[in-house]
Amino acid sequence: MTSRYFVFFAACFALVASSDLAIDSQVLQDVFGYRPGQAAPVAAASNIQASAVKPADENATLVDLDYWDSDIFSPAPADYDKFDWTLTKRVASSSDQNFLLSPLGLKLALAILTEAATGVTQNELSSVLGFDLDRNLVRRKFSTIIESLQKESPQYILNLGSRIYIANSAQPRQRFAAIAQEFYKTELKTVNFLEPAVAAKDINTWVSNITQGRIPTLVDEDDVTGMVVLVLNTLYFKGSWRHQFAPNATKNGQFYVTDKVQKTIPFMNVNDKFYYTESAKYDAKVLRMPYMGNKYAMYIIVPNSLMGLPRVLTDLSDLRQELNNLREYLVDVTLPKFKFDYTSQLDGVLRELGVRAAFEDTASFPGIARGQLLDQRLKVSKVLQRSGIEVNELGSVAYSATEISLVNKFGEDTEAYAEVVANKPFLFFIQDEATRQLLFTGRVADPSLADGAFKLN
């Protein structure tokens, strides 16, 4: 009988505000590369409210402290998101259409999978994902990320949940179960996959509740038939732009899909202070649009030329460095409303990047003990992510679902003015400003399209 082990990440992300986020300085040093004496990354430093900073010129205008904790912005010093940008670049290069990924969602799912692995299987996963050789450091990192995401605030809704569904025929090893609970806040639940209709309903209800209906049906009976383990990480985030677009300012305009194809799209407009830079490296404009509370932000990269986005994607891993140049400007922003769903089958990309043993008969996942016979052991069969995003005048919602299925081995500053007009294909990413983790990366090539898909042949 074919048995499967799914790891799934469901994230529904809608703009939000932040609460006070206190992260221990030692954790920042060990996990994110911040060292005492080094200028702290602004977004990672929290509770920076000891005293108001006065400008050198008494007649100068202070930056709104509610908007930004400091007038100095610097990217995270640690090279922790190489995998995120590599994945984004590979999917983006597959076509010139819309795409949406949740790098953090995939990493959370793969991190738990890595905890169940040993030997070459674990080493390949850790290497490709950029995990430290010190497993305790990796666990602390994800524990810190999850703690950050679980911070409650009256300014936004963020539901984060994690479960591992275990079939009656499987038995998680005690150490794996303890690690999943302690560092990934993941609860284990036994389910009878021999009753697929009941199991699928249970799983879908849980995911739908956490994502507030954004992902009502993740799995069907066929998906769970013969399944051994299902790991779920679900996230729902809802909030508002720090500087909202006035609905009555939205007007139709032309979006240039190509030099020969134009489409009439509703464009939103707002004129306010944003962190912005004109990038000579990418020949593009880079804009930071914070959500209320400044815990999350969307970054938009709009090339100056209609065909300029490939230049950005070519050196995408250097994008962090460009964020050093962000300065506060009065920016007139024109952004299209857009909403689309996207499905990515990522096992081919992971193989390309070096995750190979996990897909072979030699895969080793002893953290989930099912039996000692060869036909009872597991390997990865597919990695699938389902994502969606909606951006409007008040905010945005983004959600993602990542499945990793395993089958048994023998079965299957100065006041300045700028203008950003996103009327051509552009790149965007949404990150947690406290930990600098990329929740979503994507491209809007045609705001009128409702769905898309990626599969590496």
- Nearest Cα neighbor of 32 from 72, 81, 66, 70 is 81
CATH code, domain with 168: 3.30.497.10
Residue with tokens 């590979």: 90
As separate numbers, helices (DSSP H) first and strands (DSSP E) second, the chain gives 11, 19
Q: Assess whether 174 and 254 both reside in one domain.
A: no
Q: Residues in the chain with pLDDT < 70? A: 1-80, 235, 369-377, 398, 401, 403, 405-415, 457
Strand (E) positions, 21-115?
Answer: 99-101
Q: Assess whether 230 and 345 both reside in one domain.
A: yes
Q: Assess whether 252 and 179 both reside in one domain.
A: no
Q: Assess whether 144 and 235 both reside in one domain.
A: yes
CA 150/CA 129 separation, integer angstroms: 23
CA 101/CA 88 separation, integer angstroms: 7
pLDDT in the model for residue 14? 34
Helices (H), ranges, 302-454: 309-314, 319-322, 347-353
Interhelix angle for 135-149 vs 103-115, to 10°? Answer: 140
Q: Which two tokens stand for residue 89?
A: 């670049």
In 3-state terms, what secondary structure has residue 120?
A: helix
How many C-alpha atoms does 346 have within 13 Å on its Cβ side? Answer: 37
pLDDT in the model for residue 403? 66
Q: Is residue 192 part of a domain?
A: yes
pTM greater than the 0.85 cutoff: no
CA 391/CA 401 separation, integer angstroms: 19
Q: Assess whether 319 and 388 both reside in one domain.
A: no
State which H helix or E strand residue 257 sits in.
Answer: none
Q: Is residue 45 part of a domain?
A: no
CB 320 within 8 A of CB 75: yes
Strand (E) positions, 196-261?
Answer: 227-238, 251-256
Q: Is residue 85 part of a domain?
A: no
CA 105/CA 103 separation, integer angstroms: 5
CATH code, domain with 294: 2.30.39.10
CA 9/CA 103 separation, integer angstroms: 10
Q: Is residue 357 part of a domain?
A: yes
Q: How many domains would you assign to the chain? A: 2
pLDDT in the model for residue 343? 83
Q: Is residue 362 part of a domain?
A: yes
CA 217/CA 223 separation, integer angstroms: 11
Q: Which two tokens stand for residue 424?
A: 């051509």
Q: Assess whether 325 and 368 both reside in one domain.
A: no
CB 55 within 8 A of CB 62: yes
Residue with tokens 């850790």: 126
Rg (CA), the chain: 22
Q: Assess whether 167 and 145 both reside in one domain.
A: yes
pLDDT in the model for residue 375? 54
pLDDT in the model for residue 172? 81
- Nearest Cα neighbor of 385 from 370, 372, 375, 399 is 399
In 3-state terms, what secondary structure has residue 108?
A: helix
**Residues of the chain with pLDDT > 90: what percent?**
35
pLDDT in the model for residue 407? 60
Q: Is residue 92 part of a domain?
A: no
Residue-number span of the structural domain to which 180 is assigned? 4-17+100-239+340-408
Q: Assess whether 134 and 201 both reside in one domain.
A: yes
Q: Is residue 253 part of a domain?
A: yes
Q: Assess whether 131 and 228 both reside in one domain.
A: yes
Q: Assess whether 419 and 361 both reside in one domain.
A: no
- Nearest Cα neighbor of 15 from 329, 431, 337 is 431
Q: Assess whether 344 and 332 both reside in one domain.
A: no
pLDDT in the model for residue 400? 74
Q: Assess whether 163 and 191 both reside in one domain.
A: yes
Q: Is residue 69 part of a domain?
A: no
| pLDDT tens readout for residues 80-98 | 688 999 999 999 998 899 9
pLDDT in the model for residue 308? 94
